[in-house]
Chain A
């Protein structure tokens, strides 16, 4: 009886562990495309006209157990044709650390010395990419991206903080495309 009990406990513990295990960075490799919108931030900017955003994200392997993430965003206001200023694209490259789920931007520096600090961490199905930037005058901003794997691709939650206020919050739903990136 005790053996059955122990076996059952082991099975439950194993399945819980599997459920809670962090994804590997390889699980995020791919090209994703989709859209979403800004969310109310609770401040004055929460009253602005809701903007639709289209976004593409490409995540591919890089040296030193790292990865590169490229993302491009196109903002749309109503039926207007987007201007060049409404499109933005970024690239960040991360290298692995002594923690399997923690990565550091290759350009990341010491915030005390005015350098941007950026890292990525994988928890469960979510890869978070954080950047903290402290200006010479002491003002600062933080950007936080949560990219969560879903059945069809990836959900993105983006929040930008400036001097303790949320100035932008965006949610996107992306589909994974067939492109091979590795």
Chain B
């Protein structure tokens, strides 16, 4: 009986440890395509934009490269659309699962501070920008794997102490 209880504890512990383990960055590699909405307001969010996005995450020398293109359209008025493309390349940081943008600099000296981390199923990329007049914003892209072929994207922009914009997209991994 005692052995059975002990084995049950071991199995429970092993399952819990497996569940808590962080994904590897390689699990996020691929071309992801998806759609969603951007909102303003935290307590009572209002949808302001529809967003279509393509994200490519791939290996780079000592880390990974992420390229994404997003088309944002005003809700109910697709004639007001804009397309934005961005690329960031990260190298491994000192701790497992932590990465630093190759161009990351000191935010208080006019540079952008950009880092990434893998925590559980989530790849989180955060960027701090402090303008020379002290105004600041932090943009965060949280990409969470849902199984092998799906990923959610939660985007948050915090500006001068308030959440200025949030967006939520569901993305699917392209087969090619």
- Whose C-beta in chain A lies nearest to the C-beta of B125? A138
* A132 at interface, CB cutoff 8 A: yes
* A108 at interface, CB cutoff 8 A: yes
Q: CB within 8 A of A121: which of B105, B117, B135, B142?
A: B135
Chain B, interface residues (CB within 8 Å), range: 35 or more
Of the candidates A119, A136, A137, the one having the most CB atoms from chain B within 10 angstroms of its own CB is A137
- Taking a contact as CB atoms under 8 Å apart, the answer to whether B100 and A112 are in contact is yes
Do A140 and B126 contact each other (CB < 8 Å), given the known contacts A102-B133, A121-B133, A161-B158? yes
* B7 at interface, CB cutoff 8 A: no
Chain A: interface residue total (CB-CB under 8 A): 36
- Taking a contact as CB atoms under 8 Å apart, the answer to whether B158 and A142 are in contact is yes
Contacts of B138 in A (CB 8 A): 132, 142, 161, 164
- Taking a contact as CB atoms under 8 Å apart, the answer to whether B140 and A42 are in contact is no
A33-72 interface code vs B (CB 8 A; 1 in, 0 out): 0000000111000100000000000000000000000000
B118-146 interface code vs A (CB 8 A; 1 in, 0 out): 01000010101010111110101010000
- Taking a contact as CB atoms under 8 Å apart, the answer to whether A110 and B98 are in contact is no
* A173 at interface, CB cutoff 8 A: no
* A73 at interface, CB cutoff 8 A: no
- Taking a contact as CB atoms under 8 Å apart, the answer to whether B134 and A121 are in contact is yes
Q: Which 10 A-B pairs have the closest CB atoms?
A: A138-B117, A121-B134, A144-B161, A42-B42, A164-B140, A164-B156, A138-B98, A110-B106, A42-B43, A102-B134
Chain B residues in the interface with A (C-beta under 8 A): 42-43, 45, 93-95, 97-100, 104-108, 113, 115-117, 119, 124, 126, 128, 130, 132-136, 138, 140, 142, 154, 156, 158, 160-163
Chain A residues in the interface with B (C-beta under 8 A): 40-42, 46, 99, 101-102, 104, 108, 110-112, 117, 119-121, 123, 128, 130, 132, 134, 136-140, 142, 144, 146, 157, 159, 161, 163-166
